[in-house]
Chain A
């Protein structure tokens, strides 16, 4: 399996642990990543309030680069906002016939052309659909028994385009977490908004969302996320959300990596802002089940 890889800006800076753990885990799953050369910002959630055309032209630039430099590969994106921005270009072009021409006129400034040939995939989609729980279980050398995990999906990975899971009741992480031997928290807040950039512009409002999510996750040992914005909002503002007991928040591939037997350092656990000693104790106490490596990983 091989994908064109778009890490996005956060994964190079404040979400480095998401980038490193994604690469480490995928490498062990025999997934090859082709970095898209010279990629640029997709506009995050800031482009749309500024310019409609820029909202589409910025991700289209990266898609055009992927078409030219990594032809035929799906584009794998770990950040949910980056994922939606790139995905929507094709969706909106399909609905508005004038749009591809406008986008390509803009990209012409750099001699680039967007043809709409790249399929955009979220990391979670690739893990759930292409790799699958059996392959994860086969690579796990540590059974996460006794660990309860709250799967947090956030918004833009499934809304407005629910391409690989149910947008109202997401559950694509359940078999992945179960495959590691962990319990999955039965909760209804997995798709509840974390407040996103309101944390910068209207912190009081975002904190109310964060508080509601953390409270609902109280029965879990750890929340896992698939988006750097969700991760930051849930891990960095726990005391301001008046959440008394710290709850650990990890990126999904960090948890996968730990189950694969990677060290805390290999998944950059030291970079997380909310990891309790209780979680570390439970993780290190997990039984090391000899890896039942299958000779042919499924889903390839």
Chain B
């Protein structure tokens, strides 16, 4: 596999800063939660979560970060924004779920780091190609996951797309275009 720069959230300095500032920043997003549970009742994926969204906010405010990071709840957020829309306190709950994904990628255990790979490999493909190359992204994702069964899950879809002429290797005119922007963002995020 093409070894390039590490994904943005795993650079050592950014990692350290996430440890220091991450929790407080997320707590600030949900500080005025009144535990009404509208978020949980509105979430289409709540049935598969080990902690209800409402419980996540409470645990965060208690500072019980490890309990939250051991749950799989935030990885099940599909960013539908229904909770954000309905929260009677107007809290940006979808953004809080995304912030937890970033925190878990930086601070979480091996399971969390592996779940973050999907997003990191996606962004690495974007960094290299300017526009996402779906085929190349899925291939590098399969490699990063070290799971030989995973590609099989995608075989039916892959064959369908192949039959429709939808599997492209991409044009590549924007290849490298985003390199300077990614590098700049990386340096800004490493800044103390």
Contacts and interface: CB of A to CB of B under 8 A. Distances in A.
Contacts of A192: 44
Contacts of B153: 203
Interface string B157-192: 100110011101011001001101111110011000
Contacts of A12: 131, 171
Contacts of B189: 51, 53
Interface in A153-204: 155-156, 159-160, 162, 167-168, 192-193, 195-198, 200-204
A271 B166 contact: yes
Interface stretch (B31-39, B51-59, B62-70, B75-83): B75-83
B84 interface: yes
B61 interface: no
Contacts of A204: 48
A296 B82 CA distance: 40
A43 B181 contact: no
Interface in A5-37: 9, 12-14, 16
A49 B105 contact: yes
B132 A9 contact: yes
A197 B161 CA distance: 17
Contact of B78 (A47, A53, A198): A198
B75 A201 contact: yes
A202 B76 contact: yes
B23 interface: no
B166 A193 contact: no
Contact of B119 (A13, A50, A167, A198): A50
Contacts of A63: none
Interface stretch (A100-108, A116-124, A140-148, A253-261): A100-108
Contacts of A105: 184, 188
Given A46-B123, A50-B123, A167-B85, A270 B164 contact: yes
A206 interface: yes
A285 interface: no
A106 B132 contact: no
A281 B182 CA distance: 50
Contacts of B171: 12
Identify whether the interface residues of B are mostly helix, strand, loop, or mixed.
helix
A208 interface: yes
Contact of A106 (B78, B161, B177, B181): B181
A153 to B, nearest CB: 11
Given A38-B174, A47-B123, A109-B181, A200 B76 contact: no
Interface in A48-92: 48-54, 57-58, 61
B76 A198 contact: yes
A205 B43 CA distance: 12
A92 B169 CA distance: 35
Nearest to B154: A200
Contacts of B174: 38, 40
A45 interface: yes
A51 B102 contact: yes
Contact of B123 (A54, A155, A159, A198): A54
A193 to B, nearest CB: 4
Contact of A54 (B47, B156, B182): B182
A41 interface: yes
A209 interface: yes
9 contacts: A38-B174, A40-B177, A48-B102, A51-B185, A57-B185, A162-B85, A193-B80, A198-B76, A200-B118
- The list of the 6 closest CB pairs from A to B, nearest first, reads A159-B81, A193-B80, A109-B184, A49-B101, A46-B122, A109-B180
